[in-house]
Amino acid sequence: MPRMNREPAQALRILMSPASLKQLGGEVADVMGVRPYELLALDEAVAMQRTDADVAFISREVTGTSTKHEIHPALQQVYDLLRQSPGLKWVHIHSAGADRQIYQDLRDKGVQITTSSGANAQVVATVALAGVLALARKFPMLWAEQQARQWIPMMGPRMPRDLPGQTATIVGWGPIGQQLGRLLQALGLNVVAVRQKVCPLVYGQFNAPVQANTVVQVTFDDLHDVLPRTDWLILACPLTDKTLQLVNAPALAALPPGAHLVNVARGEVVDQDALVSALQSGHLGGAFLDVFAHEPLPPESPLWAMPQVMVTPHAAGHSDGNEARVRQMFLDNLRCWTSGQPLCNAVGSN
């Protein structure tokens, strides 16, 4: 029998930042084993216009302080390189959401995108909880009075409501929503989860009494039915065609007077003009906002100066342990990639 001539396996070219190369070089080697591969430094690849990468890891230092609305020139060069790489097959990103235009463009070209959903879930959930607690205890008002050196007792109309017995409706029941739901239940709140599909095992009717430690689940189509009994509307969902401006003027009007909004999802989930109007009218009691329709939030936005609003710069997911969790997610997916297994957190997969 004649011997078959086999071509040597082509090296897998992996593109990542210099910082990630330094941190992950040894671990990538362990994952790849005897498989041939080449690590490409992102800055050198941009400078040399190397468009031959097969895989790319976009860590947080790559996007830096750019937002999806305002992209710095250095990041734009990275995006251009990715778009111009004909052999690119898979990109892993540090964020939980993949709603930046670059990722849609790459998906349209057949590139598989995986996210780091879940890496910062506990952090975001605790930040959302902090927003609930701060608004419930009227901290924005108290901080303003502290700056003015005013001592005003919390009596009469200033008296905070008890949190136990109030209802929090969490839109999005992924890792963030589920962790936040457990935290709020521990404080005695009733929790309603809004998700794509309900789970029969724990599904409750939204118009029935809520039992202790039971999460009532409804679909997005039923959101307006639960809003009238919602004290805290908390957004922890991805930005999709279904969630774009989901919280609009009618939705805000359906909330009971004095209800609060917490948004750690995406700014475009909310009609921001309608939100401003609901806050200015006093119908909405307050809001904790980490995300906005345009980021950075323009200086002229009235949200900055509203005493019942807390503004943070899309920082709910930031913590010093998040980078390590994201790197591990990339390595785990690289192991799946090299062994032909399905990737975790693949955008568009069920």
CA distance 190 to 163: 10
Residue with tokens 């679909």: 219
Out of 314, 318, 325, 327, the active site residue is 314
Distances (CA, A) of 70 to 129, 284, 294: 29, 30, 9
Other CB atoms within a 10 A radius of the CB of residue 147 amount to 8
Mention every residue, 6+ apart, whose C-beta is less than 8 A from residue 207.
Answer: 225
**Longest C-alpha distance within the chain, in Å?**
96
Alpha helices, H only, 192-284: 223-226, 249-254, 272-281
Mention every residue, 6+ apart, whose C-beta is less than 8 A from residue 122.
Answer: 179
> In a 3-state reduction of DSSP, which class is residue 48?
helix
Q: Is 266 an annotated catalytic residue?
A: yes
> In a 3-state reduction of DSSP, which class is residue 170?
strand
224 and 230 Cβ atoms separated by less than 8 Å: no
Q: Is the dihedral of CA 175, 173, 229, 288 positive or negative?
A: positive
Q: Is 314 an annotated catalytic residue?
A: yes
Out of 266, 294, 325, 327, the active site residue is 266
Peptide bond into 296 cis (omega under 30): yes
Mention every residue, 6+ apart, whose C-beta is less than 8 A from residue 314.
Answer: 67, 290, 291, 292, 295
Q: Which residues are catalytic?
A: 266, 314
